[in-house]
């Protein structure tokens, strides 16, 4: 499913979830986010610097890619990623990345394969815009399109978006190729929010680790 959506600055109120779930107000979850993100940034600092220099040397453009995403209560925020493409969001449209996408640089392909392009989102976690575990944030333009097609789509906005989530560890990551995959992804996100327990986050983090080294769906 190729999604080409117009760029927008903020989601309409119709797709925003007004009432947060229990997961959104958990102090234990927030404390875990701050501790885990802080330790990860310290541990990966040398790698972050190497990746930044490599991106700067490989192609023109910013080292970090910033794009509007939808967060808690449907509020927009700017997500951070290492730039993996030759283009940024400055065009008139946002096109979903696909396997073999010609916009992706050789280094970018490696970073995406190992999910290293996502490491700067640890800053989003420290800022309180994201969590270690939660529904993966989509581009706002895609939220506008998909919210019209998926019942209860806004349910995923009842908590902070995450670096990893239930949908991703269950195989629903990367390109949204068809409606079946889209519906399954949103169902997994809402099930996570509805039944959240702190130990669920620990399990999802543990299940994410092996995927970093061998997930065929990453590209």
Give the tokens for residue 147: 């919210």
pLDDT, tens digit, 9 for 90 and up, residues 24-52 = 778 999 999 999 999 999 999 999 999 99
Q: The domain containing residue 40 runs over which residues?
A: 4-209
Which of the two residues, 210 and 206, has the higher pLDDT score? 206
Burial of 72 (0-12, 13-18, 19+ CB in 10 A): buried
For the cut 80, the answer to whether the pLDDT of residue 100 exceeds it is no
**Domain count along the chain:** 1
Within a domain: residue 218? no
| Bridge partners of residue 139, in order along the sequence | 69
Within a domain: residue 121? yes
What does the DSSP 8-state code read for residue 15? G
> What pLDDT shows up at residue 21?
65
Ranking 87-101, 168-182, 183-197 by mean pLDDT, the lowest is 87-101
Give the tokens for residue 70: 């939808």
Which of the two residues, 25 and 17, has the higher pLDDT score? 25
The CA distance from 122 to 32, in Å, is 12
For the cut 90, the answer to whether the pLDDT of residue 216 exceeds it is no
Within a domain: residue 216? no
Within a domain: residue 219? no
Contact 67, 139 (CB under 8 A): yes
Count other C-beta atoms under 10 Å from residue 97's C-beta. Answer: 14
Confidence of residue 172 (pLDDT cuts 50, 70, 90): confident
> What pLDDT shows up at residue 92?
41
Task: Report how far apart, in Å, the C-alpha atoms of 90 and of each of 87, 93, 94, 166 are.
Answer: 8, 8, 9, 31
Within a domain: residue 202? yes
- Across all residues in the chain, what is the average pLDDT? 85
The CA distance from 21 to 31, in Å, is 17
> What pLDDT shows up at residue 90?
42
Within a domain: residue 215? no
What does the DSSP 8-state code read for residue 93? E
Q: Give the closest residue to 134 by CA, choosing from 26, 215, 2, 210.
A: 26
Confidence of residue 8 (pLDDT cuts 50, 70, 90): very low
Within a domain: residue 154? yes
Within a domain: residue 160? yes
With residues binned 3-state (H G I as helix, E B as strand, rest as coil), the percentages for the chain, rounded to 5, are: 50, 15, 40
For the cut 80, the answer to whether the pLDDT of residue 164 exceeds it is yes
């Amino acid at each position: 499913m190729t999604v080409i959506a117009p760029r927008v600055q903020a989601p309409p109120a119709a797709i925003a979830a007004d009432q947060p779930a229990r997961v959104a107000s958990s102090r234990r979850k927030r404390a875990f986010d701050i501790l885990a993100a802080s330790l990860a940034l310290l541990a990966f600092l040398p790698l972050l610097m190497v990746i930044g220099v490599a991106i700067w040397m490989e192609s023109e453009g910013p080292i970090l890619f910033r794009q509007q995403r939808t967060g808690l209560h449907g509020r927009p925020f700017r997500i951070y990623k290492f730039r993996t493409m030759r283009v940024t969001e400055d065009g008139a449209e946002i096109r979903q990345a696909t396997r073999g996408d010609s916009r992706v640089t050789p280094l970018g392909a490696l970073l995406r394969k190992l999910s290293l392009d996502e490491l700067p989102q640890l800053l989003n976690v420290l800022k309180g815009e994201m969590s270690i575990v939660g529904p993966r944030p989509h581009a706002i333009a895609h939220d506008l399109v998909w919210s019209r097609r998926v019942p209860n789509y806004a349910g995923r906005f009842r908590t902070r978006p995450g670096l990893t989530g239930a949908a991703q560890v269950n195989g629903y990551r990367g390109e949204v190729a068809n409606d079946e995959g889209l519906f399954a992804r949103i169902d997994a996100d809402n099930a996570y929010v509805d039944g959240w327990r702190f130990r669920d986050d620990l399990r999802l983090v543990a299940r994410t680790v092996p995927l970093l080294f061998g997930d065929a769906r990453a590209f």
